[in-house]
Amino acid sequence: DAGVTQSPTHLIKTRGQHVTLRCSPISGHKSVSWYQQVLGQGPQFIFQYYEKEERGRGNFPDRFSARQFPNYSSELNVNALLLGDSALYLCASRRSYGRTNTEAFFGQGTRLTVV
Amino acid sequence: ILNVEQSPQSLHVQEGDSTNFTCSFPSSNFYALHWYRWETAKSPEALFVMTLNGDEKKKGRISATLNTKEGYSYLYIKGSQPEDSATYLCAFPYSGAGSYQLTFGKGTKLSVIP
């Protein structure tokens, strides 16, 4: 079975531009979450989607948005990019959304560099 | 805001040495504690999901213990090998109002010297 796949793997954007990151969860997984990891920090929660609805949002500005499609894949969009948005963006999928005793499965991430 | 702390931040050990590191988390409203191993250029991979006070889990040379009353978990690696070099993350899941999110520590970066 394919794991969580993310595209692109690397991306360079200019300040003020917009970016779209994509994630395909493991087959059968309906919950997708997005995390941002900056150097020296642990991953920080951005969004969770389940059955195409936003179920949770972390402490990120409105420039960050996401959506989930009928096939459970997801996009993370960031508008008006800032230098501080440079980070590794991780996508994680789970079969359910609420139970805490099951692990999340992560993709390899998209490395975004804003110049 | 949940506070999950890991120590040490980094660790260098010789091949064959045993080592351990710590994750501390809020002891109130405990649901579970996750450990992940994250090798460079790969995806974070779940090692353990621990739910019960006193739990001890083992996978090969790696084991973990859990103390929910005092809010800490230890990860042990016996006889470290170069392939154990990775960042080890612990995460405290929160589930409420239909949401599920992980709060991660900053990780412990382990380097095993051949």
Q: Are A85 and A54 in contact (CB under 8 A)?
A: no
Please, which pLDDT band fits residue A26 given cuts at 50, 70 and 90? Answer: very high
Contacts of A107 in chain B (CB under 8 A): 43
Looking at residue A48, its pLDDT comes to 94
Please, which pLDDT band fits residue A20 given cuts at 50, 70 and 90? Answer: very high
- Of A64, B55, B57, residue with least CA distance to B46: B57
- Is residue A77 scored above 90 in pLDDT? yes
- Determine what percent of chain B is predicted with pLDDT higher than 90: 82
Q: CA quadruple B53, B97, B102, A98: dihedral positive or negative? A: positive
| Residue B39 sits at the chain A interface (C-beta within 8 Å) | no
Chain B: give the shortest CA distance to residue A96, in Å. 9
Q: Which residue of A has its CA nearest to B30?
A: A100
Nearest CB among A98, A101, A106 relative to B44 is that of A106
CA angle B13, B17, B21 (to 5 degrees): 65
- Is residue B9 scored above 70 in pLDDT? yes
Backbone angles phi, psi at B32, to 5 degrees: -165, 170
- Is residue B95 scored above 80 in pLDDT? no
Please, which pLDDT band fits residue B1 given cuts at 50, 70 and 90? Answer: low
Q: Which residue of B has its CA nearest to A111?
A: B41
Mean pLDDT of chain B: 93
Q: Which residue of A has its CA nearest to B39?
A: A108
Q: CA quadruple B104, B105, B107, B108: dihedral positive or negative? A: negative
Looking at residue B97, its pLDDT comes to 65
* Average pLDDT of the segment spanning B20-30: 91
Contacts of A33 in chain B (CB under 8 A): 100-102
**How many Cα atoms are found within 13 Å in the side-chain-facing hemisphere of A94?**
21
Query: What DSSP string runs through A50-82?
Result: ETTEEEEE-S--TTEEEEE-TTS-EEEEE-S--
| Residue B106 sits at the chain A interface (C-beta within 8 Å) | yes
Looking at residue A2, its pLDDT comes to 80
- Considering only CA atoms, give the Rg of chain B: 14
Backbone angles phi, psi at B31, to 5 degrees: -110, -55
